[in-house]
Amino acid sequence: MFGLAIHSSTPELGLAISDFNAIHRYQGWALGRELSSQLHILLQGFLNPQSWQDLSFLAVCIGPGGFTGTRIGVATARTLAQQLDIPLFGISAMAAVAYHHVTKVEPAIPAQYIAVTMPAKRGAVYGGIYHWDGTTLTVKLKDTVLPGSDWEDKQSQWSEPLLNLFLESGVGLAKHTPSLLSLGHEQWQLGQYSDWREVVPFYGQHPVREIKGKK
């Protein structure tokens, strides 16, 4: 049984594969605008020596992040899941950051609530709140985009103490692709399967609306 994760919501592409026993591989590439032309080639090369038939599930980053990269990654994962007839799990980039922190940066920390903040456009921020119970990460406040002051108010009114993780930008998040895969594996083990059609990108704000709103 293998799982494969795709993270393309930033200028970097991240791929991770594991059998959750002895085989674990991760690789990242700084592709920028070359993502669309290189993704499928790199994906095929990275998969070897495993085959598509070895995969039991896929996990993909749904954002927040760049519009084009996120869309390409999600579209690729949806197509693969449909063709292979395997579950696809859409995982938040910020959830992967939180999971990486509690399992790799401070693995001994007790159960706690984690607020992740990432800059958006025009003074807004992306924000999400998660709970770590020592073994499992759960979503307590679904990823959203709102003015920075509103996000500060929401955190100050939270009923429990929060560990705050601030991301200066969305750059470099592909390094959390193994965490993306681990979160997908947790859902797979719990049987929380979703149809590939239900996995859609999270942009926060539709780019067409943003363009129309400009003066």
pLDDT, tens digit, 9 for 90 and up, residues 12-51: 999 999 999 999 999 999 998 899 999 999 999 999 999 9
Q: Judge whether residue 129 has pLDDT over 70.
A: yes
Q: Judge whether residue 207 has pLDDT over 50.
A: no
Residue pair 39/8 in contact (Cβ under 8 Å)? The answer is: yes
> Domains of the chain: which residue ranges?
2-92+172-213, 94-166
CB contact set of 154 (below 8 Å; sequence gap of 6+): 127, 141, 146
End-to-end CA, the chain: 53
Q: Judge whether residue 215 has pLDDT over 80.
A: no
Strands (E), 38-111: 55-61, 88-91
Q: What is the pLDDT of residue 213?
A: 40
Q: What is the pLDDT of residue 63?
A: 95
Q: Judge whether residue 211 has pLDDT over 50.
A: no
Mean pLDDT estimate for the chain: 92
The listed CATH number (3.10.129.10, 3.40.50.300, 3.40.630.30, 3.30.420.40) that belongs to domain 2-92+172-213: 3.30.420.40
2-92+172-213 with 94-166: one CATH topology? yes
| pLDDT tier for residue 210 given thresholds of 50, 70 and 90 | very low
CATH topology of domain 94-166: Nucleotidyltransferase; domain 5 (3.30.420)
Average pLDDT over residues 90-115: 94
| pLDDT tier for residue 205 given thresholds of 50, 70 and 90 | low
